[in-house]
Structure formats: C-alpha cells, structure tokens
C-alpha cells in the first residue's frame, strides 16, 4: 500500500514556482477531504480542517513543503451582456447565483431557469466555456450558494422557501 502525500494547508496566492498544478471546476474547488491527481500526475490527499473554497492562484501545501497550484478549469457558462448590466447583475444576485463580474459582461453557470429570466428582461446570452471565478460572498467570507433547480444535493435538503422582491 502506497502512502499518499497529504496537503493540510492552503496558501493564498503564494510567490514562487509550484511543484505541480491541479485544475478544478468552481464546484470542485469547494472541498475538505479528497484524493486529487495533479495535472503533472502527482496523486495526493487533501485533508483540510474545514470545507474550504479554493481560489485560482491559491496553492495546496504538502506536508513535505511542495506546493500544488490551484487552477480554474474551463466549464460551460453563460456570458451575459446587455445595455443595463448593473440591472442584470442585480437580478442574478437576487437569485443568489454565483457570478463573475467583468467590465462588459457577467459570467454565470448554465441554468435554464436563470437563462429564461434573463432573456425575459432583455439580456443577451451566449454559451461559452471558460474558467469560472465568481465573486466571493459578502465581506469576503467565501461563496454564495445558488438556488437548486432540480439537482440533488446528496441527500440533504435546503429550504428555498424565502421570498424575493420582484
């Protein structure tokens, strides 16, 4: 039996070269304990004390000091543009949908319910595949959590009965 190297620490945007990289989707960058394989082939165990949202540019520090850089994977997204981008961003935020905010566009994960709502209020939408690095939660405390429109959460329920102003 082979003993895997273990990463128990995250370094935010370290300087210097990494020994390997691991490319993960936005959802895949929210974890606590998992066996991972680096892009260069290094297999290791991530064992953090709590569930953590990893950001592209962070690094996982192995017990022996090696660093594994975290990269954002390309994933299917919706590019949102339109004449009133702040209004569109407000509607996306009002649905607690993770959103990458850029000067001339917004990026969100593909979701047919959000897509339909955005089309109804005049957004221009285009399917793209890019790395996804949405804004963090309020006060820099981590992630926003989008509404579930039918996907399973592994046996636990979320109360989504709260109201939104429309």
**What CATH code is carried by the domain that includes residue 100?**
3.30.70.790
**What gap in Å lies between CA 44 and CA 70, rounded to an integer?**
13
The answer to whether residues 15 and 26 belong to one domain is yes
Res 122: pLDDT? 96
Residue 162 lies in a domain: no
- Quick one: average pLDDT of 82-87? 96
Check whether residue 11 and residue 64 sit in a common domain: yes
Work out whether the CA dihedral 39, 55, 52, 93 comes out positive or negative: negative
Cβ atoms of 144 and 92 within 8 Å: the answer is no
DSSP helix/strand/coil, 90: helix
Is 158 within a domain? no
pLDDT at 143: 61
> Does residue 58 carry a pLDDT above 90?
yes
Q: Distance of CA 98 to CAs 77, 78, 157, Å? A: 11, 12, 19
Q: Are residues 48 and 96 in the same domain?
A: no
For residue 156, the model assigns a pLDDT of 36
Residue-level pLDDT at 147: 42
Determine the pLDDT at residue 20. Answer: 97
Residue 22 lies in domain: 7-72
Residue 40 belongs to a domain: yes
- Domain count for the chain: 2
């Amino acid at each position: 039996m082979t003993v895997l190297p273990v990463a128990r620490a995250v370094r935010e945007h370290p300087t210097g070269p990494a020994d390997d990289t691991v490319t993960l989707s936005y959802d895949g960058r929210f974890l606590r304990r998992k066996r991972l394989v680096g892009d260069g082939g290094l297999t290791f165990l991530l064992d953090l004390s709590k569930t953590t949202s990893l950001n592209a540019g962070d690094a996982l520090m192995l017990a022996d000091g090696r660093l594994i850089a975290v990269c954002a994977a390309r994933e299917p997204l919706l590019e949102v543009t339109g004449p009133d981008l702040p209004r569109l961003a407000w509607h996306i935020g009002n649905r607690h949908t993770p959103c990458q905010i850029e000067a001339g566009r917004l990026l969100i994960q593909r979701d047919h319910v959000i897509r339909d709502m955005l089309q109804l209020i005049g957004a221009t939408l285009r399917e793209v595949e890019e790395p996804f690095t949405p804004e963090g939660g309020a006060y820099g405390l981590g992630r926003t959590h989008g509404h579930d429109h039918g996907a399973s959460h592994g046996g636990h329920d979320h109360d989504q009965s709260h109201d939104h102003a429309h």
